[in-house]
Structure 1
Amino acid sequence: MAGPEKDSRSGFVILVIHINMALYSTCFWIQSGVMPYLSKRLGMDTVMFGYLQTTFAIIQLLGGPLFGRFGDLFGGRAALSLAYLSSAFTFLLMGLSTTVPLLFLSRLPSVFMHGMQAAQMVVTDLSSESDRAGALGKLGVSYGVGMIVGSTTGGLLISRLGEPFAAYVAAAGCVLNSIVVMKYIPAQTKQTRTKENNPETASSIFSVKEILRLLSIPGAAGILAIKTITGLPMGVFQSMFSVVAMDHFKLEAEHNGYLMAYIGVLQMVMQGLVVGWLTQRIAEKSLLLWSILLICLVGLATALMTNVVQFCLTCIPMSLGISIFYLTTNSILTKIVPPTDTGAMLGLNMCVHSLIRSVSPTIGGFLFESYGFSSFGYMQFLINLLVFLYILGNSAS
């Protein structure tokens, strides 16, 4: 295939991926708005809601590595289709849930609900290393568009038509996404096939040997460890945000949707514009260090704020720090492995997020009930201060 023709086709595929991501995000945030109000209507308290979130995270933790290897072996089209159909089934079962046990069971199909991971796999395949962070960051713009539309739409649908109807809309959107993928995404987006380069493991979706091999690559385990430790306090806060919005800020579903839309706009600006601009001028490892310091200071500000207006102001540096941190770590991880293993590495990366989400709701529920909202901020401040000092000390020695 000629160069210009290849670039044109790659550009079209990436455009479709961004459309997919916007619709996927819309559906995800519609169902995210449904979850706290549906669980409350079914009689769940804060602790039980935390268990529900933990169940969801553990299921995704189990599916992350399998999904990454699946994408490496069978290509972008298969990975995206699996992610969107899994999402559709999850949202459909949530809408049909009339009891707490059914709501828990609705989380089971989410084992392969990895829409962002699948999109990152394809964009990684089609982008150069020098543009990797910026290309991944632009996915954040599409995700932010969906977050805005989904949060506001979800709030309106829940308020006027009820939680089940909103969940069905989210499921229908994911089915539409899978149809678009089957029609417009090529079966294979990697430049080289995994089977040609690694014949011993090409037929195995799950391989402990492969996971250990990836972790043994210099720098991989260290970045994943930093991501886990730094991400835990943020995960605790994010897992409890819907409860905080209802119980601490006293927001109704519609107003909560507007707040999430505001955060979505910030995410779009930071990931789509600011982070890409910074990565062209500052080394990724330096950006990683200073993003941890910014997240640390934001934790202190979070502990001291008392109302929604202050929270909205705090969200600006919070979005910047989180965007830099996640995009630089994602970019570094995809660069230290061969192109045939980027899906598997992104799967391990997703495991970190799922591991954090599996423990953070329980921690968050305990902290919120025992010590109040400010405990989230103090936890974020102390942990990230220690991580910052540790990295700074190692880089100086």
Structure 2
Amino acid sequence: MSAMNTKASSGGEEEALEMRSKTLGESGCSGEIKRGQAILVAYLIATLELTFLFMQMGVMPYLAKSLGLDSVGFGYLQTTFGVLQLVGGPIFGRFADQFGTRAALILSCASGSAFFLLMSISTSIPLLFLSRLPAVFMHGLPGAQKLITDLTTPSQRADALGKLGLCFGIGIIIGSALGGVLSTTFGIFVPMYVGLVGNLMNTMIAMVWIPLQARPKSDHRVTEHSNVFSFREILYLMKFPGVMEIFIVKVFAGLPVGLFLIMFSIISMDFFGLEAVESGYLMSYFGVLQMVVQGLVVGKLTNRCSERTLLRLSVFVFAGVGLGMVRLGVKWCLLI
């Protein structure tokens, strides 16, 4: 009986893979090549978008300070960004379901272009707040995750999605260092110009290299009178087993990480007196550590510990790091 179930599962995966090959307009080896190319393009788009995002994240406190915004005002600015991302996430997901992953990635990259365009002309505090608005549709990483999910079988999916963590690390390392160097050497607005050009290139890459339809039509759940802004459809997803629990864990796990990324530049600037280039190098150092830990430490622990044990261990590690940072008093302590 077990053997029959295994064969059935294998047959289902092969059938799904064949359907995706036909969706891309090819079959056999050619379809596999096109699928692999589309996945590589998804990695490229995610890496570039994260690079530009971290590039502006390290420079933003210095730009805000130059415009006369204090730490409290900067907190409101970053909160605005976070709220827009939170509200836009479900809408972006619905948009991807309605119009396809290609359209969603193009929307994300185009929104990134508008984001950096507005930042490049932000010569006052109101314009700086206005530049946050396009962030509502800037979801390149979830878009890449959806594309990879659509183009891989369940047996390939975990490995393919895991490589997006590498894209995240590369984005932190390159983006943080590049933002600091460009702003210190050429001016505070130069990283914004680079981000604008880069996102325009990303938009063109998505238009040319992402397949028009990466998912078979039979896989789509179509409902009458459904639209992108249907919160009933969004709430419907929460009713699936395990979805609400995962959502809650993701929210509470992402909160301390988000606070750290948002406020670190302010702390390094006001408390430690670091310049933009020094703060960028420090964030790049954190990115290298993250890649080493995820690639070497976490990889080995997953073979020895259960997911629940790793989750609990990560909570204690986060708490220990947070308490340790309270006692930081000198620059070199940041490296520890």
TM-score by length of 1: 0.72
Contact 1:74 1:187 in 2 (8 A): no
Letter in 2 for 1:153: L
Give, in whole Å, the separation in 1 of the partners of 2:101 and 2:294.
23
Distance 1:292 1:7, change over 3 A: farther
Distance 1:201 1:3, change over 3 A: farther
Distance 1:143 1:226, change over 3 A: closer
Quote the residue 2:127 is aligned against: 102
Quote the residue 1:193 is aligned against: 217
Contact 1:95 1:163 in 2 (8 A): no
Quote the residue 1:40 is aligned against: 65
Give, in whole Å, the separation in 2 of the partners of 1:306 and 1:218.
46
> For 1:80, what is the secondary structure of its paired residue?
helix
Quote the residue 1:155 is aligned against: 180
Letter in 2 for 1:21: A
**Alignment of structure 1 residues 197-236 onto 2, 5 Å:** 197-200=220-223, 203-236=226-259
1:184 to 192, 197, 209: 209
Give, in whole Å, the separation in 2 of the partners of 1:187 and 1:285.
39
Give, in whole Å, the separation in 2 of the partners of 1:272 and 1:91.
32
Letter in 2 for 1:118: G
> Structure 1 residues 36-45 or 152-161, which shifts more?
152-161
**Alignment of structure 1 residues 342-361 onto 2, 5 Å:** none
Distance 1:272 1:77, change over 3 A: farther
1:24 deviation in Å? 1.5
**Alignment of structure 1 residues 333-348 onto 2, 5 Å:** none
Distance 1:199 1:229, change over 3 A: closer
Quote the residue 1:371 is aligned against: none
Give, in whole Å, the separation in 2 of the partners of 1:140 and 1:6.
26
1:263-285 superposed Cα distances (whole Å, 9 cap, x missing partner): 22223334455545554664433
Distance 1:165 1:201, change over 3 A: farther
C-alpha RMSD of matched pairs (Å): 2.3
1:201 deviation in Å? 5.3
Q: Does 1:250 align with 2:259?
A: no
Q: Does 1:50 align with 2:40?
A: no
Quote the residue 2:13 is aligned against: none
Contact 1:24 1:174 in 2 (8 A): yes
Quote the residue 1:319 is aligned against: none
1:341-370 superposed Cα distances (whole Å, 9 cap, x missing partner): xxxxxxxxxxxxxxxxxxxxxxxxxxxxxx
Distance 1:248 1:3, change over 3 A: farther
> For 1:163, what is the secondary structure of its paired residue?
coil
Distance 1:306 1:7, change over 3 A: farther
1:130 deviation in Å? 4.6
Quote the residue 2:193 is aligned against: 168
* Unaligned stretches of 5+ residues in structure 1: 314-397
Give, in whole Å, the separation in 2 of the partners of 1:62 and 1:140.
24
1:234 deviation in Å? 3.2
1:113 deviation in Å? 1.0
Q: Does 1:289 align with 2:312?
A: yes
Contact 1:91 1:106 in 2 (8 A): yes
Contact 1:21 1:119 in 2 (8 A): yes
Give, in whole Å, the separation in 1 of the partners of 2:101 and 2:314.
31
> For 2:189, what is the secondary structure of its paired residue?
helix
Count of residues in Structure 1 that have an aligned counterpart in Structure 2: 311
> For 1:30, what is the secondary structure of its paired residue?
helix
Q: Does 1:303 align with 2:326?
A: yes
Quote the residue 1:382 is aligned against: none
Quote the residue 1:335 is aligned against: none
> Structure 1 residues 284-293 or 65-74, which shifts more?
284-293
Give, in whole Å, the separation in 2 of the partners of 1:108 and 1:164.
19
Give, in whole Å, the separation in 2 of the partners of 1:137 and 1:202.
36
> Structure 1 residues 14-23 or 243-252, which shifts more?
14-23
Contact 1:87 1:174 in 2 (8 A): yes
Identity %: 48
1:39 deviation in Å? 0.5
TM-score by length of 2: 0.84
1:167 deviation in Å? 0.6
1:245 deviation in Å? 0.9
Work out which of the two has the higher radius of gyration on C-alpha atoms and give 1 or 2: 2
Give, in whole Å, the separation in 2 of the partners of 1:269 and 1:193.
40
1:21 deviation in Å? 2.0
1:124 deviation in Å? 2.2
Give, in whole Å, the separation in 2 of the partners of 1:250 and 1:150.
21
* Unaligned stretches of 5+ residues in structure 2: 1-20, 22-26
1:354-389 superposed Cα distances (whole Å, 9 cap, x missing partner): xxxxxxxxxxxxxxxxxxxxxxxxxxxxxxxxxxxx
Letter in 2 for 1:268: M
Contact 2:39 2:148 in 1 (8 A): yes
Distance 1:308 1:208, change over 3 A: same
1:218-274 superposed Cα distances (whole Å, 9 cap, x missing partner): 222122223323433333332211101111222111111111111222233344555
